[in-house]
A and B are shown apart, each in its own frame.
Chain A
Amino acid sequence: MLSIKNLQASVEDKQILKGLNLEVKAGEVHAIMGPNGAGKSTLGYVLSGREGYEVNGGEALLGETDLLDIEVEERAREGLFLAFQYPVEIPGVSNMEFMKAAVDAKREAAGEDALSSKEFLQRAKAACKQVNLPLEFLKRGVNEGFSGGEKKRNEIMQMMLLEPKLCILDETDSGLDIDALQVVAEGVNSQRSDDRAFIVVTHYQRLLDYIKPDFVHVLADGKIVKSGGPELALELEAQGYAWLDNGAEA
């Protein structure tokens, strides 16, 4: 589903991704761990097409589509979803209006009719319920005045409505208490399916207790330096990343 080969990218002339390779198949869950500043968020931004993130080598395919060749919104319509580490507050634009426009844009691109307001509202309500967000959050400005946890749950709510093929969750667990973590994890698990894949960026094993990954990767200094099964996350939790640095350089 996602095939990244030798991806290189820079921000403000600083090389951040330095030849990253990653293959994700439909139905899989991949966890990416790694030290701060390694380039994990950058990977998400580069894949989604954020301005200022300059690709200077390699390729990234989503299915047959060359992601790096199309606009931000087209990537989303193709089925890429990035749950932001720091979701943006947009006062004055209601969550509801935002999501309706997003869902309709995707449907239009797929040659489908826009949802009726009623149909959309039903889906939005169901999604809110699933992530435990009160319905009034649909009327509020996008993320406006939401707590950290509410913002993260709102990201998952959006993910549910957009039904993406590939979901990248960037530290969606940071700042969540254990109850909220469970809610988010359940939300994600409910979306797992054979034709959808997840990349879960996290620092903590505890999220992976709930969202069981098929593969765990360590991203350090702009590259995947180690890959393994779920047991790798436990090792990292116990020993940190220092041993990898040595290993990588040796």
Chain B
Amino acid sequence: MSVWLQTLKEGAKARIDDARTPVAERGAQLLKDAVWPTRKTEAWKYTSLHTLSDTDFAVGKTARANAQTIEGLDSSDLLFDGVRWHLPDQFEAGVKVATFSNLSPLEQSEIAADMMPVKPGRHLFGAINDLMVQDILVIDVEADAATTRPLRVVMNAIEGAVQHGRVWVRVAKGAKVEIIEQAEGEGQGLSTLISEYLVGDHAKLCHSRFQLVGGEHHAVGGCHIKLGEFARLRSTLVGFGSQMSRLDVDVEHAASHALAEMDAIYLLQGDELFDLHSTIEHAVPNGTTDENVRGIVTDSAKAVFNGRIHIHRDAQKTLAELNNRNLLLSDSARVSTKPELEIYADDVKCAHGATVAELDEEAIYYLQSRGISERDAKVMLNFGFINELVDKMPNEALGDWLRSKLKARFESMNKVDA
């Protein structure tokens, strides 16, 4: 048992008493029987928590939340300083953003009722976040609001601190919104950032999660999304590795005809780790999921991908595709991948696969035939392999920003193996 978890459990009672969120009590409940994961725990089979178990990071430490502007992107920035959220004064029509503690009691009780069903209870760090989070950032998008200004949630690593961020988003019927979640920084410490989305009928959510922390930081993220009828999700997840970087994503098709398009990218070097777990639940008929996960791993870094699509008995006419492709640039780079389709309905179209990809010889030749050296051709193709997913992002300015970030990292990955 970890000292750290034990301390949390012992303090649970007191936490609930002064918690200003409706989720603390549930967190305490969930944690009551929780044990510290070991390698025998399925969900943590490839990711060791031993570097975290006896840490004693400061609680309540803050740092000025800063977010560099993204060129060409006119976003409303919602900044977390380790404890509190800092919000602009004004938002686009149809968008309401506030912290939970600032809502009226009436609003609070209405939202609290909607808050519970999104994040599955099985995530240990989700439960820890439930218990420990100081306040919740609430984003409420009105029915039919066709918003154009992206909302950007920023939470950076704070040296030596443990911090918990929490975002709850409701996109009402027919509304459209873009939300970017961004975390950067390094240094010892732990951050958990959990976001929950209720996407209403015919609503559209364009979502990005950039978990770009590095170094000795421990990051555990969760994106938990519930889709209504004909809802559309378009999501891009990006992970850089760190001492321990983990992201759990859950998408629930709660009503029929929803579409989830999800792309994920990871670029790992040194002895970094990135662990992506995704679970897509198709509980109802006529849903579509298209999930593409691609990663490049070099040095002795390690990627873990555990993707599950669960098609329940009633989920007829589901279309589901899940794909994980990896490029390993060094002999000691590792990837543990497990894409799973669990199908209980009989009339579905599904495909899944995982590969350690090889570069296309014909493409290498084509590039060489234009004068590009074999090595440069391979580097271009490797980058193209992930850039293909960046090209799919609907927001061009955001895509350009991400591309240059990925490129910078990619170049540093290629320097080592000259």
Residues on A close to B: CB < 8 A?
A: 48-51, 71-73, 75-77, 82, 84, 87-88, 90-93, 97-99, 101-103, 105-106, 109, 141-142, 158, 162
Task: Find out whether the CB atom of B368 lies under 8 angstroms from the CB atom of A76.
Answer: yes
Q: Which residues of B contact A106 (CB under 8 A)?
A: 371
* 7 A-B pairs whose Cβ atoms sit less than 8 Å apart in the complex: A71-B368, A82-B369, A88-B366, A90-B363, A91-B388, A101-B367, A105-B371
Partner of A73, one of B373, B381, B389: B373
Taking CB as reference atom, which chain A residue is nearest B377? A73
Closest Cβ of chain A: how far from B137's Cβ, in Å? 34
Taking CB as reference atom, which chain B residue is nearest A74? B371
Task: Find out whether the CB atom of B376 lies under 8 angstroms from the CB atom of A93.
Answer: no
Taking CB as reference atom, which chain B residue is nearest A103? B371
Interface string of B123-164 (1 = CB under 8 A from A): 000000000000000000000000000000000000000000
Task: Find out whether the CB atom of B369 lies under 8 angstroms from the CB atom of A72.
Answer: yes
Q: Which residues of B contact A87 (CB under 8 A)?
A: 366
A107 to B386, CA, bound (A): 28
* Extra contacts besides A72-B374, A109-B371 (10): CB < 8 Å: A50-B365, A72-B365, A72-B368, A73-B368, A73-B369, A76-B369, A82-B369, A84-B369, A90-B366, A92-B389
Partner of A162, one of B360, B361, B362, B370: B370
**B6 touches A (CB below 8 Å):** no
Partner of A98, one of B360, B361, B370, B386: B370
Task: Find out whether the CB atom of A90 lies under 8 angstroms from the CB atom of B381.
Answer: yes
Task: Find out whether the CB atom of A102 lies under 8 angstroms from the CB atom of B362.
Answer: no
Partner of A102, one of B361, B372, B386, B391: B372
Task: Find out whether the CB atom of A91 lies under 8 angstroms from the CB atom of B384.
Answer: yes
Q: Which residues of A contact B274 (CB under 8 A)?
A: none
Task: Find out whether the CB atom of A92 lies under 8 angstroms from the CB atom of B371.
Answer: no
Partner of B372, one of A51, A73, A91: A73
Partner of B370, one of A50, A51, A76, A91: A76
Q: Which residues of A contact B80 (CB under 8 A)?
A: none
Interface string of B342-371 (1 = CB under 8 A from A): 000000000000000000111101111111
A105 to B371, CA, bound (A): 6
Taking CB as reference atom, which chain A residue is nearest B379? A101
A88 to B362, CA, bound (A): 7
Closest Cβ of chain B: how far from A97's Cβ, in Å? 7
Task: Find out whether the CB atom of B380 lies under 8 angstroms from the CB atom of A105.
Answer: no
Task: Find out whether the CB atom of B380 lies under 8 angstroms from the CB atom of A88.
Answer: no
**Number of contact residues on B: which range applies?**
20 to 34
Q: Which residues of A contact B372 (CB under 8 A)?
A: 73, 98, 101-102, 105
Q: Which residues of A contact B368 (CB under 8 A)?
A: 49, 71-73, 76
Partner of A92, one of B367, B369, B373, B386: B386
Q: Which residues of B contact A51 (CB under 8 A)?
A: 361, 365
Task: Find out whether the CB atom of B366 lies under 8 angstroms from the CB atom of A84.
Answer: yes
Closest Cβ of chain A: how far from B71's Cβ, in Å? 16
Interface string of B378-405 (1 = CB under 8 A from A): 0011011111110100000000000000
Task: Find out whether the CB atom of A92 lies under 8 angstroms from the CB atom of B391.
Answer: yes
Taking CB as reference atom, which chain A residue is nearest B365? A50
Q: Which residues of A contact B373 (CB under 8 A)?
A: 73, 105
Task: Find out whether the CB atom of B366 lies under 8 angstroms from the CB atom of A162.
Answer: no
Interface string of B308-333 (1 = CB under 8 A from A): 00000000000000000000000000
Q: Which residues of B contact A158 (CB under 8 A)?
A: 370
Taking CB as reference atom, which chain B residue is nearest A91? B388
Closest Cβ of chain A: how far from B44's Cβ, in Å? 33
Q: Which residues of B contact A98 (CB under 8 A)?
A: 367, 370, 372, 380
A141 to B391, CA, bound (A): 9
A101 to B367, CA, bound (A): 9
Taking CB as reference atom, which chain B residue is nearest A82? B369
A84 to B361, CA, bound (A): 15
A91 to B361, CA, bound (A): 14
A144 to B370, CA, bound (A): 17
A105 to B360, CA, bound (A): 21
A250 to B260, CA, bound (A): 68
Task: Find out whether the CB atom of B363 lies under 8 angstroms from the CB atom of A88.
Answer: yes
A131 to B362, CA, bound (A): 25
Q: Which residues of A contact B383 (CB under 8 A)?
A: 92-93
A146 to B372, CA, bound (A): 22
Taking CB as reference atom, which chain A residue is nearest B375? A73
Assuming the contacts A51-B361, A72-B365, A72-B368, asked whether A101 and B380 have C-beta atoms less than 8 A apart, the reply is yes
A141 to B387, CA, bound (A): 10
Q: Which residues of A contact B380 (CB under 8 A)?
A: 93, 97-98, 101
A179 to B25, CA, bound (A): 72
A212 to B299, CA, bound (A): 56
A75 to B373, CA, bound (A): 11
Q: Which residues of B contact A82 (CB under 8 A)?
A: 369
Closest Cβ of chain A: how far from B179's Cβ, in Å? 25
Task: Find out whether the CB atom of A141 lies under 8 angstroms from the CB atom of B388.
Answer: yes
Q: Which residues of A contact B360 (CB under 8 A)?
A: 88, 90
Closest Cβ of chain A: how far from B380's Cβ, in Å? 5
Task: Find out whether the CB atom of A76 lies under 8 angstroms from the CB atom of B371.
Answer: yes
A50 to B370, CA, bound (A): 12
A97 to B376, CA, bound (A): 12
Assuming the contacts A90-B381, A92-B391, asked whether A102 and B366 have C-beta atoms less than 8 A apart, the reply is no
